[in-house]
Amino acid sequence: MHSSLAAGAPLELAKAGEPRRVSLGTATPKAGGRGELRDVLWPLAGWGAFPNWVLVLFGILDMVIRLAALGIVPGNRRPTTAMAWLLAIFLIPLVGLPLFLMFGSYKLSSRRLRQQAEINQKVLEATRELKEPRSAMEAPTWVHSAAELNRTLGSFPVLDGNTVQLFADYRASIAAMTEAVRQAREYVNVEFYIMAKDEVTDELFEALQEAARRGVTVRLLFDHIGTLRVAGYRKFLRWLKQSGIQWHRMLPIFPVRGQWRRVDLRNHRKILVVDGHVAFTGSQNLIEPGYLRASSRRTGRGWVELMARLEGPIVTALNVVFATDWYSETDELLAHELFTPSSVTESGPMTCQVVPSGPGFEAENNLRLFNTLIYSAVERLSVCSPYFVPDDSLLYAITTAAQRGVDVELFVSEQGDQFLVHHAQRSYYQALLQAGVRIYLYPKPMVLHAKFLTVDGYVGVLGSSNLDMRSFSLNLEVSLMMLGDDIVPRLLEIADSYRKVSRELTLDEWARRPRGERYIDNVCRLTATLQ
């Protein structure tokens, strides 16, 4: 009998009279052998089974990929994003390269980009003769500058004569939308990132079905991947198919149908428009407050939201955003619902401007607006965002504001609902606290999902956009800039209600957190530019 050894572990027997030596290690290859070439290639088992010419060819390909990545990856990307991709490609190429090919580009298809450009041009042409209206209150020069920025990037003008009603109560906003749908006579346009027909939203969806059956045109859009992940998705589709509602998925992923793109591009907008007279927008999705998650039921977790009900000319502007997304998904252009000066009817003292953003635009419209407003702040800046993962420009803007004496406060959740994003967010707390930003932690298990900011006593912004790199680059978002009336005091009242139940995080407390938590936060921060 003899013992069998693994390949590459030869047995060396001693000559007579010499000590017996057994070598179980891999034999050292001769000069010029495959071992030397194999050592410079990607560390994979089994390279020794290939002939030298294959190894040489692979080595050349490896070098070409690395050199090409150095010149291709940084193009039109933030340096931090480019560096993250380069590290992934160089350190774990078999994983990093396929991921870059799948997720490296955040732009939409050329067809969608053409459609967005077409809508933008129509809006500009229809409103070319409109001048910036006189606000109900005198505004500083920087407010007009921000409005001009929004007009240049997003095409929509500033519109006077609006009313805004805020809903900080989750069920009250659903009830208000339901009542508006019941009053519909011509059409209802509904666009939300996540939808589900459950015990909270059931009445709203039944109202939509009733409207469709009495002859109202009801159009409905939901994000494919965002809604697909919700419990009861298949049952919801079956209901939609027999409801009489015209519905479509936004950014659908169906490779067999030729519908394919970067899978984490999302349409994150929340819009409901009734007859061109009433509109809703904000942070809330059409789903019960716990998002139908078993963990939410177990822990009592719910989402805290902020929605706005609008009347006046701004309603048509929001409807144009819906029409743009409907056009992208159906190729049907709702020309009769596009913005025209003749459709403007004033109904209140508020001045508003719609700011669409996302990969359909060349610039990051929302990020540029936020930075402009933050740098303009002189007295007080109040920010609420469930996911605060800033790029360098936003981090510098908000810390600089605090350092130059602006009273800056940030409201975030004590415990986030997304592990990577929450820990990436925490990695910025030290820089914020050191700069003088006051951070308020909304108590767990609730998720503070409202998204707004106020600047001094002049401007308030709310909408679907988070202050994170995903919302700036990967998500289609819609924001609403508002001034006049008492919008800032009303938003600050909501901030006050958050502050009453939150606790303030101090720099001393944060410096004492366990090293293990610091490590996790820093690792997750590395993924921030790719999330």
Q: Which residues does the annotation mark as catalytic?
A: 268, 270, 275, 449, 451, 456
**212 to 179, 197, 243, 279, 386: CA distances (angstroms):** 15, 17, 8, 18, 35
Residue 292 — φ and ψ, nearest 5°? 60, 30
Residue 487: other Cβ atoms inside 10 A: 25
Longest dimension (CA), the chain: 109
What is 486-505 written as a DSSP string?
THHHHHHHHHHHHHHH-EEE
- Orientation of helix 79-91 relative to helix 93-103, angle to 10°: 140
| b (16+ CB within 10 A) / e for 45-66 | eebeeeeeeebeebeeeeeeee
Residues 6+ apart with CB under 8 A from 191: 220, 221, 222, 250, 267, 269, 270, 271, 272, 321, 322, 325
- Name 250's bridge partners: 223
**340 to 140, 303, 317, 353, 529: CA distances (angstroms):** 28, 37, 9, 15, 39
Helix (H, G, I), strand (E, B) or coil at 475: strand
Alpha helices in 214-339, H assignment, sequence order: 224-228, 233-241, 294-299, 314-330
Residue 362: other Cβ atoms inside 10 A: 12
**116 to 111, 150, 323, 325: CA distances (angstroms):** 9, 16, 10, 9
What is 418-448 written as a DSSP string?
SHHHHHHHHTTHHHHHHHT-EEEEEPTT-EE
What is 56-77 written as a DSSP string?
HHHHHHHHHHHHHHHHHTTTTS
